[in-house]
Structure formats: structure tokens, C-alpha cells
């Protein structure tokens, strides 16, 4: 028994000597991530997904919250470059104005991954891949749902629109996609449109102004995200109207709060936009570091949830 232990010990020592030290063999990948902020239930779920996935993948995450300011994102990216991280990823608060800092990252040979939102720079060599939803299609889905709902009605359909953050990819594309569909029937009219910055508080405030100022009857609210719709629902109720009945409400994201509103009959439909990008981001980071090819565009597959489906879907929701 004693002799066998000694032999095993010798063999183990020989084996260990032939292997590289774990610390040298497996240097942890360092990822710098600049998040937009915490403006919505969606964003909170997105942050959790990224933090959890980094932990699961054994990637060291340097996380910076930009508090919805582009200047903070630029500062964070510069600081990641100075720290020589392996990969930089970020969700750009607005589409324009990132070219200079992206060139700096390229000059430092640090690959950049765009998540959730795109930039409108012409030089697409400035990022390796862009993963996230097709916002244009989300706007179209919202428009198609409305046209279908109203297919047996006649007369004008007056719509008010709560836009997302000015200059952001989802605000631009969700507006464009929705308009592309409704313009095929001129009786669908956007009578007012203003930003609510993707937050509940501003969604409520702007909806209050719409209800107060607009002499025309509001038939439909199209909100670029669930949080603004939830804020607007409060404003509609405070004005003595029934959300979901007196005013049809369409929004985007599919967060739990929206499902609760749908189950209460106050929100008619939510077009899904998944924030659960963490696992695919970590996979792309590992592939980029390993020199493997990654697709230039990774589109998230998503559904549409009308209120009638909410109770059955709710228990399955992960965000």
C-alpha cells in the first residue's frame, strides 16, 4: 500500500513537471464593457445577463455604466484601451459620434464588439461583429399587428408615439419600420410624436402632455419600449380613461412588467426584444481571442406577444 502511494506520487510529479503552470497556460480573458445605463427593465436584464455570462465563462469583466451619456462611454472605452483589455464591447447610446474612439481601439489592436445597438460609421472594419435585435423589423411587427387589429374598422386611427432616446438606433429604426407599414393605409395617422427617453417617468410625463394638449381623440399609443408604455398607462388611468380599451397600446421589449400589464388588460401587445445577450457575447469574445471567425452580424430571433397570450407565456419569461 505504502509502495503504491510512493509510485503514484513520483508519477504525479513527473506529469506535473511536463505540464505548463496553469497560471501561464490559461490567462484570463479581460473584457471591457461599456453599458448605456439603467434606464429600463430591459437594460437591467441585459446587464445581469452580461455579468452572469462573464462569470460562467471565467472571463474577467470590467464593467462601466455610462448613465446614458455618450461622453461617459467614450471615456470608458479610452480607459479600456489604456488598460490593454483583450476585447472591448459596448452598447452605443446613440448611433453617431463613435468613429474617433473606435479608430483608437483599432490602432491599439483591441477588437470591438457591438451589442444591442449599432453605430452608423461607414468603416465597418472598426468592429468585429454586431449582435442584437433587428429594430426595423420590430417596428414593422408593431405596425402589422395594428393593421391587422383594425382590419374590420373604418375611419381615421389617430396614433401618438413615444420615441426612445433621440439619435439611438432603436428609436430611429422602430419609428421607420412602423411608419413603413402604416403608410400603406393613409387613415392611420401619427398625430403626435415625442421622445420619452426609454424611461417610465418620461413616458408618463409625455403621455400626460399628449392627453392634455391634443384636441383629437387618441386611438392608439405606440411606445418604443415597455417602460414608457407602463408610465403612459398611469397617465391614461389618471386621466380617467381605460388603457388597453379606450386607447390601444402597443410597445416593444416583452419584459415581465409588460406581461403583468397585458394580464391586467391594460397593454394590448408587446413585440419581443431580447436582452439576454450575455452568453453569445462571451462566446464571441472567446472566439475572437482564439482567432476564430465570427459572423459580422448576429440577429436575435424574437416573437410578438398579444395580450391574449400573456397568461400562458408569463411563467416562461426570463426577464
What residues line the site for ligand AHR (CB under 6 A)?
A: 39-40, 42-43, 116-117, 170, 198, 225, 227, 252-253, 273
CB of 273 to ligand AHR, least distance (A): 5
Q: What are phi and psi of 258, to 5 degrees?
A: -70, -40
How many other CB atoms sit within 10 Å of the CB of residue 272?
Answer: 20
What's the closest the beta carbon of residue 227 comes to ligand AHR, in angstroms?
Answer: 6
Strands in 166-316 per DSSP E: 188-195, 220-223, 248-253, 269-272, 297-299, 304-306
CA angle (313, 318, 319) in 5-degree steps: 105
3-state class (DSSP) for residue 241: coil
Query: Minimal distance in Å, beta carbon 205 to ligand AHR?
Result: 17
95 or 150: CB nearest ligand AHR: 95
Give least dist CB 43 to ligand AHR, A. Answer: 5
For residues 163 and 121, is the Cβ–Cβ distance under 8 A? no
Shortest gap between Cβ of 49 and ligand AHR (angstroms)? 13
Smaller CB separation from ligand AHR, 157 or 224: 224
- Pick from 158, 179, 147: which is nearest to 269 by CA? 147
Nearer to ligand AHR, 43 or 192 (CB): 43
Query: Cβ closer to ligand AHR: 68 or 219?
Result: 68
In terms of CB distance, is 199 or 268 closer to ligand AHR? 199
CB 135, min distance to ligand AHR, A: 8
- Taking the chain, what is the end-to-end CA distance rounded to the nearest angstrom? 56
Q: What are phi and psi of 250, to 5 degrees?
A: -120, 130
Beta-carbon count within 10 A of 278 CB: 24
Could you tell me the smallest distance in angstroms from the CB atom of residue 117 to ligand AHR? 5
Minimal distance in Å, beta carbon 258 to ligand AHR? Answer: 10
Query: What's the chain's length in residues?
Result: 319
Choose between 158 and 165: whose C-beta lies nearer to ligand AHR: 165
Yes or no: say if 211 and 234 are a contact pair by the CB < 8 Å rule. no
- Residue closest to 307 by CA, chosen among 156, 145, 194: 145
Residue closer to ligand AHR (CB basis): 117 or 192: 117
Task: Give the Cα-Cα-Cα angle 276, 278, 280 (nearest 5 degrees).
Answer: 100
What is the DSSP-derived secondary structure letter of residue 93?
A: S
User: What's the rounded Cα separation, in Å, for the pair 37 and 47?
Assistant: 9
Nearer to ligand AHR by Cβ, of 163 and 219: the residue is 163
Tell me how far apart the alpha carbons of residues 269 and 249 are, in angstroms, rounded to a whole number.
Answer: 7
Amino acid at each position: 500500500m505504502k509502495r503504491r502511494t510512493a509510485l503514484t506520487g513520483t508519477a504525479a510529479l513527473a506529469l506535473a513537471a511536463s505540464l505548463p503552470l496553469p497560471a501561464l497556460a490559461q490567462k484570463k480573458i479581460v473584457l471591457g464593457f461599456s453599458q448605456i445605463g439603467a434606464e429600463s427593465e430591459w437594460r437591467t436584464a441585459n446587464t445581469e445577463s452580461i455579468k452572469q455570462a462573464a462569470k460562467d465563462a471565467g472571463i474577467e469583466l470590467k464593467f462601466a455604466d455610462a448613465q446614458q451619456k455618450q461622453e461617459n462611454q467614450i471615456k470608458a472605452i479610452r480607459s479600456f484601451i489604456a488598460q490593454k483589455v483583450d476585447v472591448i464591447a459596448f452598447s452605443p447610446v446613440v448611433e453617431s459620434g463613435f468613429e474617433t474612439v473606435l479608430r483608437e481601439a483599432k490602432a491599439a489592436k483591441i477588437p470591438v464588439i457591438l451589442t444591442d445597438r449599432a453605430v452608423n460609421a461607414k468603416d465597418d472594419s472598426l468592429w468585429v461583429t454586431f449582435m442584437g435585435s433587428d429594430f426595423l423589423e420590430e417596428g414593422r411587427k408593431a405596425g402589422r399587428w395594428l393593421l391587422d387589429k383594425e382590419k374590420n374598422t373604418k375611419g381615421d386611427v389617430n396614433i401618438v408615439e413615444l420615441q426612445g432616446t433621440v439619435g439611438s438606433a432603436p428609436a430611429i429604426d422602430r419609428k421607420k419600420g412602423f411608419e413603413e407599414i402604416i403608410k400603406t393605409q393613409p387613415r392611420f395617422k401619427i398625430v403626435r410624436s415625442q421622445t420619452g427617453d426609454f424611461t417610465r417617468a418620461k413616458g408618463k410625463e409625455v403621455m400626460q402632455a399628449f392627453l392634455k394638449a391634443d384636441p383629437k381623440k387618441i386611438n392608439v399609443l405606440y411606445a418604443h419600449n415597455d417602460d414608457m408604455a407602463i408610465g403612459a398607462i398611469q397617465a391614461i388611468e389618471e386621466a380617467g380613461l381605460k388603457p388597453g380599451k379606450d386607447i390601444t397600446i402597443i410597445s416593444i421589449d416583452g419584459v415581465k412588467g409588460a406581461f403583468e400589464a397585458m394580464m391586467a388588460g391594460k397593454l394590448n401587445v408587446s413585440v419581443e426584444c431580447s436582452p439576454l445577450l450575455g452568453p453569445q457575447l462571451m462566446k464571441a469574445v472567446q472566439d475572437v481571442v482564439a482567432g476564430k471567425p465570427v459572423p459580422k452580424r448576429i440577429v436575435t430571433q424574437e416573437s410578438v406577444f398579444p395580450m391574449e397570450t400573456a397568461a400562458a407565456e408569463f411563467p416562461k419569461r426570463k426577464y
